[in-house]
Amino acid sequence: MAEALTLHEDPRSGNCFKIKLTAALLGLPLATRAYDIMKGETRTPEFLATVNANGRIPVLQIGDGPDARFLPESNAACWYLAHASHLIPQERFAQSDMLRWMFFEQYSHEPNIATLRFWLRFVGEANLSAEQRAQVMPKRIAGSAALDLMNRHLARSAFFCGGSVTIADIALFAYTHVAEEGGFGLGDYPHINAWIARIEALPGFVAMD
């Protein structure tokens, strides 16, 4: 019997949504346990000792009780769930190229596009610190460059790694499709919009909360 899967999450987080969307596309049952990161619920001594010493969600829990294992980092959790499925190409270069887009997502996309969404939608512009305020424009520029690169790539390819969906698409979809909540206009990126529509039409697709 397959081990129980539990997602420790904040439902507002796109990083958590990646894992829920991967599970949904694969038809895998996934329990959830919600935390409010705005209230510090992932920084409690119990959370740090048991779930993630790094104090962050999402964390994918595999199994229950004393033998449970905990896997932080959204893209690593997607990798675990999609093991040996059609969402991960098996050919050596294609698989490496898929990971290339997932590392791009964590380095060049998420810190700009997700962070501005968090600041503008959840923290509120009036509540930003001076340091955060100084970062809005650099993140706006870097996030726009990431979207431009994606748009140019998607002009030549239906999904990020060729003609079918992989977990690289799921990773990049999570914050791209809500980028407007962070003040990024998507009107200039027709290939991104067509790709968003393709993902939303996939069998098993679930929307973000």
Yes or no: say if 7 and 31 are a contact pair by the CB < 8 Å rule.
yes
- Span interacting with a copy of itself, options 18-26, 67-75, 117-125, 181-189, rule CB under 8 A: 67-75
- What is the amino acid identity at position 196? I
Q: Residues 38 to 57: which contact a copy of itself by CB under 8 A?
A: 53-54
Going by DSSP bridges, is the β-strand pair 31-34/59-62 parallel, antiparallel, or unpaired?
unpaired
**Cβ closer to a copy of itself: 106 or 193?**
106
Residue 34 neighbours by CB under 8 Å, 6+ apart? 9, 10, 11
- Span interacting with a copy of itself, options 28-36, 68-76, 158-166, 183-191, rule CB under 8 A: 68-76
Q: Does 169 help bind a copy of itself (rule: CB under 8 A)?
A: no
Q: Does 11 help bind a copy of itself (rule: CB under 8 A)?
A: no
User: 100, 140, 191, 198: which one contacts a copy of itself (CB under 8 A)?
Assistant: 100
Binding mask 131-150 for a copy of itself (x = CB under 8 A): x--xx-xx----------x-
Which residues of this chain interact with a copy of itself, rule CB under 8 A? 53-54, 62, 69, 71-77, 79-80, 83, 92-93, 95-97, 99-100, 102-104, 106-108, 110-111, 130-131, 134-135, 137-138, 149, 152-153
